[in-house]
Amino acid sequence: MNTLDELRVVRVTSTADTLKVDFDDGRSVELPLIWYPRLYRATPAQRDNYVLMGRGFSVHWPELDEDLSAKSLALGKPSVEFLKARRKHEVAT
Q: What is the pLDDT confidence band of residue 87, given thresholds at 50, 70 and 90?
A: confident
| Annotation: CATH topology of 9-92 | NE0471 N-terminal domain-like (3.30.2020)
Q: Which helix (H) or strand (E) holds 52?
A: strand 51-53
Dist. CA 65–CA 20, nearest whole Å: 19
Confirm whether pTM is higher than 0.85.
Answer: yes
Dist. CA 22–CA 87, nearest whole Å: 30
- Report pLDDT digits (tens) over 31-78: 999 999 999 999 999 999 999 999 999 999 999 999 999 999 999 999
